[in-house]
Amino acid sequence: IPYEVGDSNSETRIAALDFGIKTNILRCFTDRGCHVKVFPAKSTIEDLLSFAPHGVFLSNGPGDPASMTYAVDTIEKVIEADIPVFGICLGHQLLALSQGINTYKMHHRHRGINHPVLNVINGRCEITSQNHGFGVAPEEIAKHKDKVEVTHVNLNDHTVEGLKVKGRNAFSVQYHPESSPGPHDSRYLFDEYLQVIRRHQSASTPQHIDSMS
């Protein structure tokens, strides 16, 4: 059953697909003034659009992402509808699958709160919290350079830690920026997502030009 958190009068509405969502993720959104409606994992794009969201969030969760074809189908349609998307952990893997990029079961899984990740966009290193046994295959990324770009890389084993869909307002990370009590190096991602939503809203707003007499 869907449920809502945050200020119902907020100017920013986010539909969250719940694959095992963590409470602190919701807190990170509501602390930033968002109104979030959490939808069950098998919700359709029609379910999400009924909330008229400004963005769609793809949550973390357990399991093999390749088995979740229902979610991949919905995410693909959300991206085609040009709705800003942000994914974390399992959400990251599902976003990749929606772009035709395969995931794999890792031999050495990532657990713990001390994984160094390089943000290749700004060159900064983040100490991150991770808890996953599946990942996005780097060789698959190489095959789909026309669709996505890598934004974050694990400095221990060079696995893919973040990606962005080219030409769309959709991005994701493999680790947990909401981690509490820490590290908090990656909390900026929530702010970046809201900036993406606001830019998208601004670009979608019709511009009215007064006629001159």
Q: Is 158 a catalytic residue?
A: no
Short-list 174, 87, 96, CA closest to 130: 174
pTM: 0.93
Q: Is 89 a catalytic residue?
A: yes
Q: What is the pLDDT of residue 205?
A: 64
Q: Is 34 a catalytic residue?
A: no
Catalytic hit among 110, 132, 152, 176: 176
Q: What is the pLDDT of residue 113?
A: 87
Q: What is the pLDDT of residue 206?
A: 57
Catalytic hit among 28, 89, 110, 161: 89
Short-list 125, 105, 96, CA closest to 183: 125
User: 47-82 as b/e, with b when 16 or more CB fall inside 10 Å?
Assistant: bbeebebbbbbbbbbeeebeebeebbebbbbbbeee
- Tell me the pLDDT tens digit for each residue of 129-138: 999 999 998 8
Q: What is the pLDDT of residue 69?
A: 97
Q: What is the pLDDT of residue 212?
A: 33
Q: Quick check: helix, strand or coil at residue 138?
A: helix
Which residues does the chain have with pLDDT short of 50?
Answer: 207-213
Query: Dihedrals φ, ψ of 96, to 5°?
Result: -60, -45
Alpha-helical regions (H) of 50-183: 69-80, 90-98, 138-143
Q: Would you tell me how many other CB atoms lie within 10 Å of the CB of residue 133?
A: 14
